[in-house]
Amino acid sequence: LQIFLGALAFSFFAKGFSGSYMKSMSSQIERRFEISSSIVGIIDGSFEIGNLMVMVLVSYLGPRVHRPKIIAFGCLIMSVGAFLSVMPQFLMGRYNYERITVSVDNSSTSVSACSPALSEGPAVTDATETLSTVINAGCEKTTNSYLWLFVLVGNLLRGIGEAPIMPLGVSYIDDFSKEENSAFYIGLVRSSGMFGPTLGFLLGSFCAGLWVDVGAVDIDAISINPKDTRWVGAWWLGLLICGAVNFIASLPFWFLPYSLPKEGENENLKISHLSVQGDHCKTDSPAQPQLRVYSIYLSIADFLPALRKLFGNPIFVVFIFLTVLQYNFLVGIITYEPKFMEQQFNVSVAKAIFLIGVILLPITILGMFLGGFLIKKFKLHITEMAKFACSTFLVAYVLNLLYFACSCEGLQVAGLTAPYSGMKHLSSSKHIYMASCNAECSCKVDQWDPVCGDNGITYMTACFAGCKSSSGTGRNMVFHNCSCVEGRGLGLGNSSAVLGQCQRESCTKAFPYFLALQTACAFFLALGGTPTYMIMFRSVSPDLKSFAVGIETLGGRVLGGLPAPIYFGALIDETCLKWGTKSCGGSGSCRVYDTKEFR
């Protein structure tokens, strides 16, 4: 049993590790494939679809099949899914982020973003010609835009592989351990499994800080940093590690037996039981496979009566209802949390993922472990567990209401969320982004390569800021003589702008309060998690435990895990103010959100 507990704890770690890594990479995948949040939600939901395809069957046949071997096979499928998701990285070529072309003045090294001559067809440099040729070549390979389907199918396979681990593993522990120890063992396995998401998020943070084509391009030549909404991290690198971890997790289960002696039986009884079982195997081995098949046929025939029995149990029905609501809430938060932190509090995605892994998840582990420990310490009965869980959830939900107070100033983008300094917009709706200070610049409305003016306002490109000259290269480029930027005491037109969005200091200061609130919510929710789970175990008949776990997971996944990322993503897309543009035209991923609406 100890070996099984260790192997199961590692498989829980492996599934949590790869699952949280995929969650943490949702922003990177959105930007790499230039897709909307709702499509990211569909990719995320494909995991649940895979899970549902086999979950009920696996849970129901649970005690009648070789549980350790089924778990081993599941871990192997998860490994294949992770490796399949990496394929697009090697098929797509390098990532070209959206940036403006600038005309070069032959007499000097200065470049101008605002060029009135553009409208008459400018004399472009060789570099610009090369860039446009590359873009046209890219447009011929339109299959690139559908390569995210590899990630979707990989995620689907991960869902299929993960399905047997929870119901079969938990029921195996419950069958062969003492009743008073089973809650503690299950709590121990689940909480040790929670280290997987922590390390998954830490790996996600590390990979999000690396450039997507790490090792293949000169990092110094890249003009954007990890805080930029066009930055794409090395999302594929962690998936290779996840695949390897899942493969290792499958190995011990191939060598574990079909059943174990019940924990705490007399040692002599164990020995005699094992020897009798050994003799039985020797004599009846030819007939055993036929008996196994016959029992599986009988099992399928009993499926509907078992389902009716479960849903005739009011405690179980209430538990399912709670599970569905909590799945919606938790899956929605976990999927889009890094994006929310980035947009709301001016934090890079890599830092947001790191904080979730280092602060939120360890607190959740502590809550789950403490919940299991309190049940064992005070020998809580089912009604006491229910009261305990109810009080912790109520505290968490009251704390949740405080999120509405976590406000922060939105990003000031000229022509988008803020007026041009001292200028009125041109009347035509087609040129809503234009003002009289940049009307001669022939700026392209669909471009996004932001600069921050001396006045603290962000401009969509240096062209919209009306900048006539520049100095420096790469990330250190500074634009000068910007006609739309009114600097402090310099007057209009004499100011400069630097690459990147303006920083929002007040948001950065409000961030620790938001993090503290979220930590408190996570702790109280986790504290009630283990008691709630044990209520389900204690309220159903022993032969239906494995089936009940499967139905609970199915309900949570179908009505929570599957729809939540999709409808959360669609709602978040509604708050987008400025969409990126793909190299072949058409909208890409979102660059700026209305932070108030998003919250």
Distance CA 242, CA 200 (A): 9
Q: 199 near 19, Cβ under 8 Å?
A: no
Cα torsion 171, 173, 178, 180: sign:
negative
| pLDDT value at residue 295 | 57
Residue with tokens 């472990």: 369
| For range 506-513, the mean pLDDT | 84
Distance CA 573, CA 444 (A): 23
pLDDT grade for 421, boundaries at 50, 70 and 90: low
What residues are paired with 452 via a beta bridge? 458, 498
Q: Tokens representing 591?
A: 């660059």
Q: 234 near 53, Cβ under 8 Å?
A: no
Residue 110, pLDDT > 60, answer: no
| For range 345-368, the mean pLDDT | 88
Distance CA 201, CA 356 (A): 7
**Strands (DSSP E) along 40-193, which ranges?**
103-104, 111-112
What residues are paired with 592 via a beta bridge? 578
pTM over 0.85: no
Residue 482, pLDDT > 70, answer: yes
| Position 176, amino acid | F
| pLDDT value at residue 317 | 94
Q: Tokens representing 279?
A: 């003799």
Model confidence over 541-552: pLDDT tens digits? Answer: 888 887 888 788
Q: 193 near 12, Cβ under 8 Å?
A: yes
| pLDDT value at residue 172 | 82
Model confidence over 39-80: pLDDT tens digits? Answer: 999 998 899 888 888 877 887 776 678 888 999 999 999 999
Distance CA 465, CA 457 (A): 10
Residue length, the chain? 599
| pLDDT value at residue 595 | 87
Distance CA 344, CA 513 (A): 13
What residues are paired with 492 via a beta bridge? 486
State the angle between helix axes of 314-345 and 529-539 in degrees (0 to 180), rounded to the nearest 10.
Answer: 160
Nearest Cα neighbor of 438 from 124, 131, 453 is 453
Tell which phi-psi region holds residue 96, choosing left (phi > 0), alpha (psi between -120 and 50) or beta: beta
Q: Give the largest Cα separation in the chain, rounded.
A: 98
Residue ranges in 25-62 assigned as alpha helix (H):
26-32, 37-61
CA-based angle 592:594:595, to the nearest 5? Answer: 100
Residue 314, pLDDT > 90, answer: yes
- Mean pLDDT of all residues in the chain? 81
Distance CA 414, CA 459 (A): 5
Q: What percent of the chain is modeled with pLDDT above 70? A: 82
Q: Tokens representing 552?
A: 């609970």
Q: 233 near 209, Cβ under 8 Å?
A: yes
| pLDDT value at residue 528 | 92
**Residue 4: CA count within 13 A, CB half-sphere:** 25
Distance CA 480, CA 564 (A): 47
| pLDDT value at residue 181 | 76
Residue 491, pLDDT > 70, answer: no
Model confidence over 367-412: pLDDT tens digits? Answer: 988 998 898 889 889 899 999 999 999 999 999 898 888 777 788 8
CA-based angle 298:304:305, to the nearest 5? Answer: 85
Distance CA 453, CA 577 (A): 20
CATH 1.20.1250.20 domain residues, the chain: 1-116+143-263
Cα torsion 46, 50, 51, 52: sign:
positive
- Go through 64-79 and write b for each residue having 16 or more CB atoms within 10 A of its CB, e for each that does not: ebbbbbbbbbbbbbbb
Residue 453, pLDDT > 60, answer: yes
| pLDDT value at residue 225 | 84
**Topology classification of domain 1-116+143-263:** Growth Hormone; Chain: A; (1.20.1250)
Report the DSSP pairing between strands 576-581 and 103-104: unpaired
Q: Tokens representing 8?
A: 């199961």
